[in-house]
Amino acid sequence: MSEAEAVRTLKINILRFDPNDPDDFPHMQTFEIQESAGMTLYIVLNEIREHHDNALMFDFVCRAGICGSCSMLINGRPGLACRTLTSKMDANITLAPLPLFELIKDLSIHTGKWMRGLSERLETWIHEQEQTRDIDMLEERMEPALADEIYELDRCIECGCCVAGCGTIQMRPDFVGAVGLNKIARYHLDPRDKRSEEEYYKLIGDENGVFGCMTLLGCEDVCPKDLPLRSKIAYLRRMMLKVAL
Amino acid sequence: MDVKKIDKTPARLDFLQSISGVVLAVFIMGHILFEASILISNEMMYRVTIMFEGYYFFGETYPGIISFLASAIFIIFILHATLALRKFPASYQQYKTIKEHTKRMKHEDSSLWMIQVITGFMMFFIGSVHLYIMITQPSNIGPYASSYRIVEEFMGPLYFMLLLSVIAHAFIGLYRVALKWGFMEGENTELSRKRFKFLMRHMIVVYIIIGLASLAKYTYIGLTHDFSDGVQYKSETIKIGEHK
């Protein structure tokens, strides 16, 4: 008896729906899985697909918290399946796709499409002055501390957790969200980007931008990469206020 | 990109909302402490009252000063409410979305925002009642007059609700403003946030205890004092000739 108790049976409830199948409707399906040592939700999902239902759809690439593909709602909170150990959870686990993003099927969502739109909207690339471009010129030197600061923000994997964890963007889908503001903070720090403060203000100085943020802090608390999102949003808020005073 | 024209209003609105909130919160922190002077003695509360009526500056009391101060607070209050309305859910759909989101997330800071919306909405009404009475009856403040209002004029329940909502709203608001603008943020931003949250929680508890104790004392005076002689307090040591 005691051995049987030592191995838990996990009850995995998954919200399933195929938007391309006209006969399908959103419904919950429960799978029972024997827990093993060091098991992550990513392993659980593979187990289900291998032994229970090979039609279950979910995204993954790296299984190490680097690619940002396996983001989903885990017991209602956004997180990465590959970074979530079942041993730290209750045996009853509910999984659902992240809200706001286009649903492909089951747990698979189109974050890439949304992120691409965001990049185009915020022009998240280095803007330099055309006439100064000279391919033989050495790149300007940068202080290591600044390079580190920029790199810290570049660690964003665009998993969409901060978007799904943000109450503001759920209510007002035109809000840029922490992922967008983090990118702007990253380019704003970068001396190679020659955009003026006014140009940045045009991108985020309204209520769909930094002044729409209601400081619910869901973004920072669910970010799997522990990015300093709140502090960067505060930084942008101060910068943008300076432009407007 | 055309950079000639930028609309500076959103930045200014956001800043005004924060700064008006901070002014109101600081006012409340003082307000609760001054009215708690009743816990020391009736005489102490009376002296605080006439201090605000200008006695220690002019040698006599001018309740009009209270009307003026209350009107100024009312204007800031309305300004803050107007600015905060921008953030309220604007439809049932939006309300349902944020409510379900908060419930699903089980996330403290998201829930704190919901408390801000609810307490803010409550204060549109109960805060306005309180402020209007202070503007129109500035001379009816004192150890007996205030107790009379609380017990005989049934303001007790309103003050009770106002106390809970204003304290929660003020300190949660200060916490959120600090994080919103990165006020006093150290190298370790996580630690700064933890400290602010610790401060917020403890200030709420301390202020609610002080506020409830004062309210209990006023209620006690209201229930036991004989008001047949009028509601004005007569000090043994301070005699004010003109004061009615």
Number of separate helices (H) and strands (E) present in chain B: 9, 0
The confidence score (pLDDT) of residue A3 equals 53
What CATH number is associated with residue B40?
1.20.1300.10
Instruction: Give percent above pLDDT 70 in chain A.
Output: 96
Per CB-CB distance under 8 Å, the chain B contacts of A199 are 1, 3
On whether both A98 and A172 belong to a single domain, the answer is no
Q: What is residue B3's DSSP assignment?
A: -
A43-85 pLDDT, tens per residue?
999 999 999 999 999 999 998 999 999 999 999 999 999 999 9
Contact B10 A211 (CB under 8 A): yes
B6 domain-assigned: no
Tokens of A152: 């810290």
Cα Rg for chain B, rounded, in angstroms?
A: 21
**pLDDT tens for each residue of A100-132:** 999 999 999 999 999 999 999 999 999 987 666
The CATH number of the domain where A89 resides is what? 3.10.20.30
Looking at the structure, do residues A84 and A114 belong to the same domain, yes or no?
A: no
User: For residue A70, what are the domain limits?
Assistant: 2-108
Short-list A214, A217, A241, A213, CA closest to A230: A217
B187 has a pLDDT exceeding 90: no
Nearest to A228 by CA among A146, A150, A137, A145: A150
B172: in domain = yes
CB contact under 8 A, A218 and B12: no
ipTM for the complex shown: 0.90
pTM for the model stands at 0.92
Does some domain include residue B127?
yes
Which residues of chain A neighbour B15 with C-beta distances below 8 Å?
A: 241
Q: Which residue has the higher pLDDT, B239 or A123?
A: A123
Provide the domain count of chain A: 2
Quote the minimal CA–CA distance from B14 to chain A in Å: 6
Same domain as A114, residue A99: no
